[in-house]
């Protein structure tokens, strides 16, 4: 009997993005952390996504998500328009410039979990208002593992609320600049120490094309990004990373208790999960929106994972 992988609940945005990069332009394409995360995680385990969209959001997309083991019954369809982000990247693809943000229906988003949602064994709180992240935490039963993401906007605007969230999560993922901002430190090791004291015992610091750093009680893992020949659009790379990272952990049945019970296995599992995240992000950046993930096959995914593992191997 093979055991069915446990599922991940994610609460995040489903959005339209309009993006300009050195490689081209995409007008009002599908995006949002909830989308990127769910699709990435769905390569590994069932996903439940909770979010809100407007009446202009294509039902065909929700239907397509459903075909990928992504339960979209938690996506509310509200009167009004869908969240719309307009951004651009210059030659430095590691940093997005926001040109406009129309929150639209997302402005009054108040996540309400179904009975099924509240029992999800894994929870990923995407980059939303930390107050909402806590409201979600109030509604879940007892997940095996809780991860969250955040961004400059909340770190600067709602630091106390964010810190209250951090006390309640196992894993935090942030990019390098956000780690400096949150910690007030200018050295990455000091920043990581400081942030881990805020709550999350596991910290992932994303460094764009330079990969990611994993900090746990066992030590540090330095994961590279998988180098690709053509980066088209970095949007969603971080959420795709998180999706594959959490998906990998869920597929393996990870539990926070492992940190004490079998630290070596826990650490090894987290390291492999980081590589899975890195690889998924490398696919996402190869095209606009999640077009590349939509075309991605499991064989191709496994091959790139093996290739990346080889690129850090000393044997």
Name the phi and psi angles at 67, rounded to 5: -70, -15
Nearest to 277 by CA among 311, 251, 315, 239: 239
* Closer Cβ to a copy of itself, 159 or 227, answer by number: 227
- Residue 311 interacts with a copy of itself (CB under 8 A): yes or no: yes
Q: How far is the CB of 217 from a copy of itself (least distance, A)?
A: 14
* Closer Cβ to a copy of itself, 110 or 310, answer by number: 310
Q: How far is the CB of 300 from a copy of itself (least distance, A)?
A: 18
DSSP string, the chain: -PPPPPPEEEE---EEEEEEETTEEEEEEEE-HHHHHHHHHTTTS-EEEEEEE-TTS-HHHHHHHHTTTEE-TTEEE-SS---EEEEE--S-TT--EEEEEE-GGGGG------HHHHT-SEEEE-SS-HHHHHHHHHH----SEEEEE--HHHHHH-HHHHHHHHTT-SEEEEEHHHHHHHH--SSHHHHHHHHHTTS-SEEEEE-GGG-EEEE-SS-EEEEPPPP-S-----TTHHHHHHHHHHHHHHHTT--TTHHHH-HHHHHHHHHHHHHHHHHHHHHHTTSSTTHHHHH--HHHHHHHHHHHHHHT---
- Residue 91 interacts with a copy of itself (CB under 8 A): yes or no: yes
Q: How far is the CB of 273 from a copy of itself (least distance, A)?
A: 11
Question: Can you tell me the distance from the alpha carbon of 300 to that of 77, in angstroms, rounded to the nearest whole number?
Answer: 35
- Residue 272 interacts with a copy of itself (CB under 8 A): yes or no: yes
- Residue 288 interacts with a copy of itself (CB under 8 A): yes or no: no
Judged by CB under 8 A, the residue of 142, 260, 298, 315 near a copy of itself is 315
Judged by CB under 8 A, the residue of 187, 257, 295, 303 near a copy of itself is 187
* Closer Cβ to a copy of itself, 129 or 178, answer by number: 178
Q: How far is the CB of 91 from a copy of itself (least distance, A)?
A: 7
Q: How far is the CB of 279 from a copy of itself (least distance, A)?
A: 13
- Residue 210 interacts with a copy of itself (CB under 8 A): yes or no: yes
Cβ–Cβ < 8 Å for 65, 40: no
- Residue 312 interacts with a copy of itself (CB under 8 A): yes or no: yes
Q: How far is the CB of 264 from a copy of itself (least distance, A)?
A: 9
Cα radius of gyration rounded to whole Å, the chain = 18
* Closer Cβ to a copy of itself, 154 or 180, answer by number: 180
Residues 188-207 that bind a copy of itself (CB under 8 A): 188-190, 207
- Residue 68 interacts with a copy of itself (CB under 8 A): yes or no: no
Residues 213-242 that bind a copy of itself (CB under 8 A): 213, 219-222, 224, 227-231
β 24-31/15-21 pair status: antiparallel
- Residue 268 interacts with a copy of itself (CB under 8 A): yes or no: yes
Residue span binding a copy of itself (CB under 8 A) among the ranges 110-118, 123-131, 283-291, 305-313: 305-313
Instruction: Please work out the total of residues on this chain that contact a copy of itself, with binding judged by CB under 8 A.
Output: 31
Binding site for a copy of itself (CB under 8 A): 91, 186-190, 207, 210-211, 213, 219-222, 224, 227-231, 268, 271-272, 275, 309-315
């Amino acid at each position: 009997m093979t055991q069915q992988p446990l599922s991940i609940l994610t609460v995040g945005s489903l959005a339209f993005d309009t993006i300009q990069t050195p490689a081209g332009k995409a007008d009002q394409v599908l995006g949002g952390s909830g989308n990127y995360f769910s699709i990435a995680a769905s390569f590994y385990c069932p996903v439940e996504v909770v979010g809100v969209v407007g009446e202009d959001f294509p039902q065909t997309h929700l239907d397509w998500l459903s075909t990928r083991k992504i339960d979209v019954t938690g996506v509310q369809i509200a009167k009004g328009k869908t969240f719309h982000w307009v951004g651009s990247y210059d030659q430095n693809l590691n940093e997005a410039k926001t040109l406009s943000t129309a929150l639209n229906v997302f402005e009054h988003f108040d996540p309400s979990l179904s009975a099924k949602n509240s029992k999800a064994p894994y929870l990923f709180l995407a980059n939303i208002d930390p107050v909402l992240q806590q409201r979600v935490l109030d509604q879940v039963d007892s997940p095996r593992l809780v991860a969250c993401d955040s961004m400059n906007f909340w770190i600067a605007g709602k630091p106390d609320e964010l810190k209250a969230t951090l006390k309640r999560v196992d894993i935090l993922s942030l990019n390098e600049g956000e780690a400096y901002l949150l910690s007030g430190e200018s050295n990455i090791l000091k920043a990581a120490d400081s942030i881990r004291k805020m709550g999350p015992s596991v910290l992932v610091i994303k460094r764009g094309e330079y990969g990611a750093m994993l900090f746990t009680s066992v030590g540090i893992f330095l994961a590279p990004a998988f180098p690709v020949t053509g980066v088209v659009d970095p949007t969603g790379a971080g959420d795709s990373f998180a999706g594959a990272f959490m998906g990998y952990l869920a597929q393996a049945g990870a539990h926070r208790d492992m940190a004490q019970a079998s630290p070596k296995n826990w650490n090894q599992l987290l390291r492999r999960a980081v590589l899975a995240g890195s690889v998924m992000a490398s696919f996402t950046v190869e095209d606009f929106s999640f077009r590349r993930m939509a075309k991605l096959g499991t064989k191709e995914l496994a091959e790139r994972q093996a290739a990346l593992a080889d690129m850090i191997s000393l044997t």
